[in-house]
A and B are shown apart, each in its own frame.
Chain A
Amino acid sequence: LAKTTQPISMDSYEGQEVNITCSHNNIATNDYITWYQQFPSQGPRFIIQGYKTKVTNEVASLFIPADRKSSTLSLPRVSLSDTAVYYCLVGDIPNDMRFGAGTRLTVKP
């Protein structure tokens, strides 16, 4: 299983851009990188997925360098409602994709 390492927590202020970096040094050639968001008392929700370079959707951007040993989730202009836990996952479901402890993002006014 590809192991991921991400910060336990981060603080930000409304309107700022937030970048959360995840390390995955032993990522396999066929592995995708997937990020989820979890609000309190809810199940996680898929945000974005990528394999290489940059992926952007209406919620976030995902930057993946050429060596794919890390990835950065970028949230533009965060608001209080972006306060959540963000999980970085590497691998394929169902066999080898696992959630870690995630990064707890707190957005302050």
Chain B
Amino acid sequence: DVKVTQSSRYLVKRTGEKVFLECVQDMDHENMFWYRQDPGLGLRLIYFSYDVKMKEKGDIPEGYSVSREKKERFSLILESASTNQTSMYLCASSFEGGLAGEYSYNEQFFGPGTRLTVL
């Protein structure tokens, strides 16, 4: 079974703190993603990475940065947390593309999420 784990299920931080959210996948996936989910807005893509040390901005990268030093690990960094970054953060991973064994093209595997509250 594919497993995507996130470092914390719940996190409470104060405004201005530097926050690290960690994501690890065990399937040797090339692609990794960070999303945030807010009521009524669905999932919005923050950043994604298609290889080690490679990153691409998603639709809402402002206020965030990412790091991918190893293939299995993708970190989301809030340099100076603000209250409007209170949200559910979801990490996902996928193969590069095409059929890969039993897994379909475009299939992303998600972690359980981190609910971050910034006070």
Contact = CB atoms under 8 A, between A and B. Distances in A.
Interface of A: 32, 34, 36, 41-46, 49, 87, 89, 92-95, 97-102
A96 to B, nearest CB: 10
B75 interface: no
Interface stretch (B12-20, B62-70, B106-114): B106-114
Nearest to A48: B104
Interface size for chain B: under 10, 10 to 19, 20 to 34, or 35 or more residues? 20 to 34
A42 B42 contact: no
Given A46-B108, A94-B31, A99-B43, A41 B59 contact: no
Query: Chain A's interface: helix, strand, loop or mixed, by majority?
Result: loop
Centre residue among B50, B94, B110, B111 by max chain A CB count within 10 A: B110
Contacts of A36: 108
14 contacts: A34-B106, A34-B107, A43-B110, A43-B112, A44-B108, A44-B110, A46-B104, A46-B109, A49-B104, A94-B33, A94-B94, A98-B45, A98-B59, A101-B41
Interface of B: 4, 31, 33, 35, 40-45, 48, 50, 56, 59, 90, 92, 94, 97, 104-113
Nearest to B59: A98
A44 B42 CA distance: 11
A99 to B, nearest CB: 4
Nearest to A101: B42
Centre residue among B33, B35, B43 by max chain A CB count within 10 A: B43
A94 B66 CA distance: 16
A92 B106 contact: yes
Contacts of B105: 32, 49, 92
Given A41-B113, A98-B45, A100-B42, A49 B59 contact: no
Contact of B42 (A46, A87, A94): A87
